[in-house]
Chain A
Amino acid sequence: MMTNSSRKKAETLERDIDSYTCGEVPSPLALLQAPTLDRWSTALHQRGKEFIMVLTGDVHKHPEFQDGDNIHTSAVMWFDRENRFARTVSRLYALGRPAAAKEGE
């Protein structure tokens, strides 16, 4: 059942990805308003045969979580090559400090 709001969400996602493809990045204001992930790291999950990337980290300014909650995001649809931001299915995240590098790195 596709509700109006989920259709709108899908359209916004489509638009965002199109703009990133054209080399645009979220405006400083958009990044300031977006929830931030601190001590983030990526995790890969297998869904059936395919894979998705999700992010985990401590979130701030998220509409549905308390500041400092450790969360898993929904599937990442676009990951910025300079680790500045990530666009998931549901929203934009500004990326803060990555989690400490794992052993041997």
Chain B
Amino acid sequence: MQYIVATIQGAPMRDRFEHPALQTLMHSRWDDALGWLHGASTDVAPRWRLDNVMASAIDRAYVQRVIRDLVDDLYARGTPASGALALAWSTLTADPCKPESFSFLPQLQRAIDHADLEADDDAAVRERIRIWWHAAQAEWKGSEVSIFRIADIETRRDPDIDDHDIAPRPPLTRDEPAPSIDADPRRSEPTLVVMPGTKATKLNNFHTQYKDIVDAPLPLLVVNEVARIRATLHAEFPHAVTAVDLMMRDLREGRPVTLKPVLLVGSPGCGKSRLVRRLADVLGAFVYRYDAASSSDSQFGGTGKAWSNTEPSVPARAIAQSKTASPIVMVDEIDKAAERNWNGRLWDAMVPFLERETASRYRDQSLDCELDLSMISYIATANDVSKLPAPLRDRFRIVKVPAPTLAHLPKLAANVMRDLAIEDEARQHDAPLATDELDVIGKAWARSRFSMRTLQKIVAATLEARDSYAMRH
């Protein structure tokens, strides 16, 4: 017996997407999508329901209800395959006149983000769903035609320019507009090539760590839930609410983390370093801490390749260690750096990094390679800025971190207790500090000029005193 495999002329396309919803999305007409989906569902959905849909397809309003019932039925079957079909059928209920009918787009976008597609299929399906998102923003409100048709027309190209336009684009290098490209959670998180191979020379044995990042698109950290981050830091640093706001001023929800250089100024122990550390924690950022007090040269900028103990610049090291393009470089006690200009000064070495333009094409003299360091954030701390040279000072946003006062004591002491409880399980059931205990702590704390470090010690000592007192009874 011979089988003849017939292919239907003009069939929309081969089934190249595993997920039925994505395949549905690629159809250029609502009816085509319906027809394809009908065929794809015969093994899963009950025959009579499918027939019902086909029979009512002429009445656009009625068929919507029938499809919704079918979607309910498919979800009720409780398998991943039926759920995927349910999502596919949901797309048929989308109506450009009713933006709220696009409420399935989050799960559809997620299906795309999680699908393992060829590059050109991925691009095509993403291009389509973008049109759907626009429709969800009521862009085609009042349109008579289906969203399938709209998406098809909007994504259609002039065949002549087609080839140039969809040629695969290279990963983001610094010639492209900005690292503002795709920021969706998984597939195309924003990245940046920090060390383009074309601008690098051969690495030597000291630089094995850097081989991995040549030409590699490194992830950029994206800001997630700014409001929560701000609320957390406000609660932890009640005395420095303004400083927190100023530091976070450049953070935008969903955008890569970049802070303009910030210099935190405040008396010793007011919590500057801790503030930086906590900000990085809640952001999920990598911090490279550089202690300025122990630097007496321009080693921050790296040492030349000709030296036997050559070492790349601090920002380059931060990138290699974090394997991300946007770590935070924290320069602690910048005012304590050596002032004499013998082997170069930290202050001068830092300047080129703080200007985004120069940082984006910084030639590291150890790696002998042009690096794009423009996405690194710099936060420095100091007790006193008067000593810093003006060119350096001008490049920082100077943020004053006030010392806490007695008014902040109850909140801060409670924070310290929580930290202690995290470190030591035995402390988890400690009763909150009583008013008389806070009074005593307050007096001791005032003597230490309200240093946060001392507060930790005082609270710990108070709790220990309480324990030993309790044991005697």
A89 on interface, CB distance cutoff 8 Å: yes
Q: Are B78 and A81 in contact (CB under 8 A)?
A: no
Q: Are A75 and B185 in contact (CB under 8 A)?
A: yes
Interface residues of B in 204-239 (CB under 8 A from A): 222, 224-225, 227-228, 231-232
Chain B residue at smallest Cβ distance from A21? B83
Q: Are B86 and A23 in contact (CB under 8 A)?
A: yes
Q: Which of B107, B185, B222 contacts A79 (CB 8 A)?
A: B107
Chain B residue at smallest Cβ distance from A3? B284
Interface residues of A in 80-105 (CB under 8 A from B): 81, 83, 89-90
B137 on interface, CB distance cutoff 8 Å: yes
Q: How far, in whole Å, are A49 and B181 apart by their CA atoms in the complex?
A: 6
List of B residues within 8 angstroms of A90 by Cβ? 224-225, 228
Q: How far, in whole Å, are A72 and B224 apart by their CA atoms in the complex?
A: 11
Q: Are B254 and A45 in contact (CB under 8 A)?
A: yes
Given contacts A18-B80, A22-B83, whether A50 and B126 have CB atoms under 8 Å apart is yes
Chain B 224-262: CB-based contact to A (< 8 A → 1; otherwise 0):
110110011000000000000000000001110000000
Q: How far, in whole Å, are A64 and B227 apart by their CA atoms in the complex?
A: 9
List of A residues within 8 angstroms of B232 by Cβ? 64
Q: Which of B77, B106, B181, B322 contacts A1 (CB 8 A)?
A: B322
Q: Which of B76, B90, B254, B322 contacts A47 (CB 8 A)?
A: B254
Main secondary structure on A side of the interface with B: mixed
Chain B residue at smallest Cβ distance from A87? B106
Q: Which of B103, B109, B224, B286 contacts A42 (CB 8 A)?
A: B103
Chain B 415-457: CB-based contact to A (< 8 A → 1; otherwise 0):
0000000000000000000000000000000000000000000
Given contacts A77-B110, A79-B107, A81-B104, whether A23 and B225 have CB atoms under 8 Å apart is no
Q: Which of A21, A23, A45, A81 contacts B103 (CB 8 A)?
A: A81
Q: Are B106 and A77 in contact (CB under 8 A)?
A: yes
B183 on interface, CB distance cutoff 8 Å: yes
Given contacts A1-B322, A3-B284, A81-B71, whether A50 and B78 have CB atoms under 8 Å apart is no
Q: Which of A17, A64, A81 contacts B90 (CB 8 A)?
A: A81
- Interface residues in A, total, Cβ within 8 A: 35
Distance in angstroms from A101 CB to nearest chain B CB is 9
- Interface residues in B, total, Cβ within 8 A: 50
Q: How far, in whole Å, are A97 and B455 apart by their CA atoms in the complex?
A: 46
Distance in angstroms from B323 CB to nearest chain A CB is 9
Chain B 71-86: CB-based contact to A (< 8 A → 1; otherwise 0):
1001111111011101
Q: Are A21 and B106 in contact (CB under 8 A)?
A: no
Distance in angstroms from B218 CB to nearest chain A CB is 13
List of A residues within 8 angstroms of B77 by Cβ? 23
Chain A 36-57: CB-based contact to B (< 8 A → 1; otherwise 0):
0000001011011111110000
Distance in angstroms from A77 CB to nearest chain B CB is 6
Interface residues of B in 272-309 (CB under 8 A from A): 284-286
Q: How far, in whole Å, are A24 and B78 apart by their CA atoms in the complex?
A: 7
List of B residues within 8 angstroms of A21 by Cβ? 80, 83-84, 87, 107
Most chain A CB atoms below 10 A, which of B82, B180, B225, B322 = B225
List of B residues within 8 angstroms of A76 by Cβ? 106
List of B residues within 8 angstroms of A51 by Cβ? 105, 109, 130, 133, 136
Q: How far, in whole Å, are A1 and B90 apart by their CA atoms in the complex?
A: 37
Given contacts A50-B183, A77-B110, A79-B107, whether A22 and B130 have CB atoms under 8 Å apart is no
List of A residues within 8 angstroms of B136 by Cβ? 44, 51, 53
Interface residues of A in 6-65 (CB under 8 A from B): 6, 17-18, 20-24, 42, 44-45, 47-53, 64-65
Distance in angstroms from A91 CB to nearest chain B CB is 10
Q: Are B78 and A89 in contact (CB under 8 A)?
A: no
Q: Are B78 and A22 in contact (CB under 8 A)?
A: yes
Q: How far, in whole Å, are A42 and B98 apart by their CA atoms in the complex?
A: 13
Chain B residue at smallest Cβ distance from A45? B254
Q: Are B225 and A22 in contact (CB under 8 A)?
A: no
Q: How far, in whole Å, are A1 and B56 apart by their CA atoms in the complex?
A: 53
Task: Please report B residues at the A interface, Cβ cutoff 8 Å.
Answer: 71, 74-80, 82-84, 86-87, 90, 100, 103-107, 109-110, 126, 130, 133, 136-137, 180-185, 188, 190, 222, 224-225, 227-228, 231-232, 253-255, 284-286, 322, 324
7 A-B residue pairs with CB within 8 Å: A3-B284, A22-B78, A23-B77, A42-B103, A48-B183, A48-B184, A53-B105
Closest 10 CB pairs between A and B?
A23-B75, A47-B183, A21-B83, A51-B133, A50-B184, A47-B254, A48-B182, A76-B106, A48-B183, A48-B181
Not counting A42-B103, A44-B136, A79-B103, a sample of 17 additional A-B residue pairs whose C-beta atoms are within 8 angstroms of each other reads A1-B285, A6-B284, A17-B110, A18-B80, A23-B77, A47-B184, A48-B180, A48-B181, A50-B182, A50-B184, A51-B105, A51-B130, A52-B184, A77-B106, A77-B107, A77-B110, A79-B107
